[in-house]
Structure 1
Amino acid sequence: MRVLEAADKNFPAGLKKITPKVKKLYSKGNFTKNLFIKSLTVVGARKMTQYGQRVIDNLLPPLVDSGITIISGFMYGVDQAAHKKALELGGKTIAVLGWGIDWSVGASDIKLYREIEEKGLILSEFENDLKPQLWMFPRRNRIMAGLSRAVLVIEAAQNSGSLITAGFALKFRKKLLAVPGPVTSAVSQGTNGLIKSGKAVMITSASDILNVMNWHESVKKKKSQPVNDSKDIIIKLLADQSLTVDEIALSVGQPVDKVSVKLSLLQLKGWVEEKEGKYYSKMDLT
């Protein structure tokens, strides 16, 4: 564990200007000042929907490829999904905790915690094994907003804690970005409200984020797309909506058994996933 005080030359510059002041940080993992140069805080609903997961699956790969550090708060839902995706892509991620640096996380979180500690960075304003308390999370949120160049909100209800982080972003004059969601979804009311009020820039692709932040997109080659056959038609069908195998078969005019085989192949390639009987595209066709 490493302790950084505000007077330390390596103390994150973004935290020196925020209030309430951050006097000390405790860290585990790989601390370098370069982590914060191109960084994005990603926050959102703890009750993340499949739509939220698809947004993360689509937005993060180009950002990670472009060397952007993903910062979040290690809570279940959008936070952990963002950490996991960044690690899966071989990128950099920072977890900012709302409890003492040495407090033991639950059994279901320990694998992710250790992976972030090994490959990324864990930060807390709180020492020892101080257990999480409600008042700690707004203090954590201000750190997440202060560390990054911008805050991206993916799914947030009207009274979501993510809106506290959004408020800090505005207070600290950071870019506030939000992904719109279905008007029928309770966990999109907060994000849609941020966009409607003009407080947040609407984001519908990774390119939007890169352009707003004036960050250069990676020149890495994108994943090869499916060949232009019936599997390609299935991918395009699923790009805008989730469908059952019967609905897909009806749309492409093929027997269910043949479509099932093609879906299995697409799943093996990582281009499609199935949840609760419906299929989703994981490909970025933009």
Structure 2
Amino acid sequence: MSLVQDHIFELEAMKSYPKKLFYSGKLELLKKTKISIVGSRKPSQYSRSLTHQLSSVLSKNDICVVSGGAMGIDAIAHKGASEFNTISVLPCGLNIKYPAINKNLLSDIEKNGLLLSQFEDDFRATPWSFVVRNELVVALGDVLVVAEAELNSGSMRSIEFAMKMDKEIYVFAHRVGESNATNELLKSGKARAIYDIDEFVAKFSKVQNKTLVKVNDFIDFCKTNPTYDEALKKYPNKIFEAELSGEISIENGRVQANL
């Protein structure tokens, strides 16, 4: 664990600049374009799939994903980006990998990405430290993406922070009766919907003279209902994580897209 010595411009948006900020990992990730992603700890399959797609495309276009290391949307966002291009902000000391279910994920991020915390080693998470963590997550990102959230959920604090910081808020389009908090944000005009992941990423990508790396090529292929062997041969590094995230399912030896 070390102290961050350099001033981080993005954190000036916080109510008060952190007196101490500890890190473990690669500080150079702070210099990248960053998108913060938060949401439910028990997301629907729809939100899980879109979050994984979004974070994957962001990362492949050299955009760093920031989240809070929690179960659900946070963990999916980190995994989609890969541990090499993500920042996880903890509500506890860096030597405590919380929650325990994400211990391996957080350890991988520590080795290859970046862990941040405002708390000394051995400090354990408390209700108020989650709020402190959420403010830092929001401050680091150029914008905030709320993948799924219900009214009165913890994600509402992140939304409040984004509004106070004048950060743009983006959400996925959900059906009526689902993700009521994000639907309310859309209804009130306080958030914008992500209808096309590639178009959203293109707004923030700084990659020049290159074709935007898209995730939909793989999904489009799966929509043709190929055999498992065909999909494995064409996308050997994608098929397993896509099945795990719920983007695809495999039935009777054939692959089908779930979107």
| Band of TM-score, shorter chain | 0.7 to 0.9
- Cα distance change on mapping 1:132 and 1:73 into 2, 3 Å: same
Runs of 4+ with >4 A deviation = 211-218, 220-228
Structure of higher RCO (CA pairs closer than 8 Å, 6+ residues apart): 2
Distance 2:34 2:171 in 1: 16
Q: Is 1:219 the equivalent of 2:211?
A: yes
Give the conservation status (yes or no) of the 8 Å contact 2:95–2:121.
yes
Give the conservation status (yes or no) of the 8 Å contact 1:42–1:79.
yes
Q: Is 1:64 the equivalent of 2:59?
A: yes
Tell me the CA shift for residue 83 of structure 1: 0.4
What secondary structure, in the 3-state scheme, does the structure 1 residue paired with 2:146 have? strand
- Cα distance change on mapping 1:39 and 1:49 into 2, 3 Å: same
Give the conservation status (yes or no) of the 8 Å contact 1:177–1:201.
yes
Distance 1:75 1:174 in 2: 22
Give the conservation status (yes or no) of the 8 Å contact 1:43–1:73.
yes
Distance 1:165 1:123 in 2: 17
Tell me the CA shift for residue 41 of structure 1: 0.3
TM-score calculated relative to the size of structure 1: 0.75
**Percent of aligned positions with the same letter in both sequences?**
29
Distance 2:214 2:141 in 1: 26
> In structure 2, which of residues 166, 170, 187 is the aligned counterpart of residue 196 of structure 1?
187
What secondary structure, in the 3-state scheme, does the structure 1 residue paired with 2:17 have? coil
What per-residue deviation string (whole Å, max 9, x for no partner) do you get for residues 10-44 of structure 1?
Answer: 23111134203311101111112x53441000000
- Cα distance change on mapping 1:174 and 1:36 into 2, 3 Å: farther
Tell me the CA shift for residue 65 of structure 1: 1.9
What secondary structure, in the 3-state scheme, does the structure 2 residue paired with 1:108 have? helix
Distance 2:79 2:3 in 1: 26
What secondary structure, in the 3-state scheme, does the structure 2 residue paired with 1:123 have? strand
What secondary structure, in the 3-state scheme, does the structure 2 residue paired with 1:156 have? coil
Tell me the CA shift for residue 119 of structure 1: 1.0
> Could you tell me which residue of structure 1 aligns to residue 73 of structure 2?
78
Give the conservation status (yes or no) of the 8 Å contact 1:210–1:216.
no
What secondary structure, in the 3-state scheme, does the structure 2 residue paired with 1:102 have? coil
Between Structure 1 and Structure 2, how many residues are aligned? Answer: 244
Distance 2:116 2:219 in 1: 41
Which structure 2 residues correspond to residues 18-33 of structure 1 after superposition, within 5 A? 18-32=14-28
Distance 2:204 2:213 in 1: 22
> Could you tell me which residue of structure 2 aligns to residue 2 of structure 1?
2
- Cα distance change on mapping 1:215 and 1:173 into 2, 3 Å: farther
Give the conservation status (yes or no) of the 8 Å contact 2:70–2:102.
no
Distance 1:48 1:276 in 2: 24
- Cα distance change on mapping 1:226 and 1:79 into 2, 3 Å: closer
Q: Is 1:169 the equivalent of 2:162?
A: yes
> In structure 1, which of residues 260, 274, 283 is the aligned counterpart of residue 249 of structure 2?
274
What secondary structure, in the 3-state scheme, does the structure 2 residue paired with 1:64 have? helix
- Cα distance change on mapping 1:196 and 1:211 into 2, 3 Å: farther
Give the conservation status (yes or no) of the 8 Å contact 1:57–1:282.
no
Give the conservation status (yes or no) of the 8 Å contact 2:61–2:207.
yes
Q: Is 1:13 the equivalent of 2:9?
A: yes
Tell me the CA shift for residue 211 of structure 1: 5.2
Q: Is 1:38 the equivalent of 2:33?
A: yes
- Cα distance change on mapping 1:49 and 1:221 into 2, 3 Å: closer
What secondary structure, in the 3-state scheme, does the structure 1 residue paired with 2:82 have? helix
Which structure 2 residues correspond to residues 42-191 of structure 1 after superposition, within 5 A? 42-87=37-82, 91-105=84-98, 107-185=100-178, 188-191=179-182
TM-score calculated relative to the size of structure 2: 0.82
Distance 2:185 2:16 in 1: 24
Give the conservation status (yes or no) of the 8 Å contact 1:69–1:92.
yes
Partner AA of 2:191 in structure 1: A
Tell me the CA shift for residue 49 of structure 1: 1.4
Distance 1:129 1:190 in 2: 34
What per-residue deviation string (whole Å, max 9, x for no partner) do you get for residues 92-126 of structure 1?
Answer: 10000111222243553221011100110000011
Name the Cα RMSD after superposition: 2.9
